[in-house]
Amino acid sequence: MTSWYVAVILGIVEGLTEFLPVSSTGHLILANHLLGFTGPKAETFDIVIQLGAILAVVVLYFERFVGLFKTDPDRRFSGPYGLWLLFLTSLPASVVGLLAHHAIKTYLFGPFTVACALAVGAVMIFIVEGMPKREKTTSLDEVTPLLAFGIGCFQCLALWPGFSRSAATIMGGMLLGARRTVAAEYSFIAAVPIMFAATGYDFLKSYELFATDDLIFLAIGFGVSFVSAWLAVKGFIYLLGKLTLRPFAVYRLALVPLIFLFL
């Protein structure tokens, strides 16, 4: 069994980066290589800790998720209508991801392609933040089907490892008229169904790689990822009320040469 500290480090990396616009995939690829933890088993472990990060969002927005199972007259984003919005957001990337799953795994999970995605995403952040803002959507309850589907189309960019799902959806929401904080919160909530489906699909195909002795290792990574993601989401929403996404773009550009240096 791999040392427990590897699970802790990777859990922290996953949790802190999954919902920030900096690409958890890029960070995990770099961290896995630096720790010497690579191969099919490492890839499956990364899937498990992603599920920990997803659970953190479910806990943070528990009322919103519960509200999806009953219509709340005071909240438009609830009941069947809320589920419809999430379906529209999940649809484009689900279809494209299913059709291109093998190609993505084969050709886009290398250091060079991830570094390129980090750089392209950073440039796009600067462009989006430099454009005039049209904040027509100022709360989750104002999200429309058209906005939900549009964000889903932008989410397809996240199929390029290193681009960042949160960066793609937040920028998409902002371009389509959502306030930055609203775009971020909707991005977190909309991430749950598509991430759960994608990670669940991959995990079911490869869970047999782990033996009973590995359960503690998996549990440590899962738990650390959950706590880290919970803290990261809370902190990110707070910062977005005071900052733009530009500092994250600078960080992404700084990460690019490190990938080429260490990998």
pLDDT tens figures, 80-110: 999 999 999 999 998 998 888 778 877 777 7
CA distances, 15 to each of 59, 98, 224, 259, 260 (Å): 14, 25, 7, 20, 23
CA–CA separation, 51 and 57 (whole Å): 10
Which has more pLDDT, 206 or 33? 33
* CB-neighbour burial class of residue 146 (10 A; exposed 0-12, middle 13-18, buried 19+): exposed
- 15 in Cβ contact with 227 (< 8 Å): yes
Kindly state the average pLDDT of the residues 133-145. Answer: 92
At 207 the pLDDT is 64
- 234 in Cβ contact with 185 (< 8 Å): no
At 185 the pLDDT is 95
At 134 the pLDDT is 83
CA–CA separation, 68 and 212 (whole Å): 36
At 263 the pLDDT is 67
Kindly state the average pLDDT of the residues 53-76. Answer: 92
Mean pLDDT of the chain: 89
Reported pTM: 0.89
* Statement: residue 79 has pLDDT above 70: yes
Specify which residues 137 forms β-bridges with.
178
pLDDT tens figures, 190-241: 999 878 877 777 667 766 666 667 788 888 999 999 999 999 999 999 998 8
Displacement of CA 105 from its chain's centroid (Å): 17
Which secondary-structure segment (H or E) carries 59? helix 40-60
Which has more pLDDT, 28 or 9? 9
Specify which residues 178 forms β-bridges with.
137
Q: pLDDT grade, residue 113 (50/70/90)?
A: confident
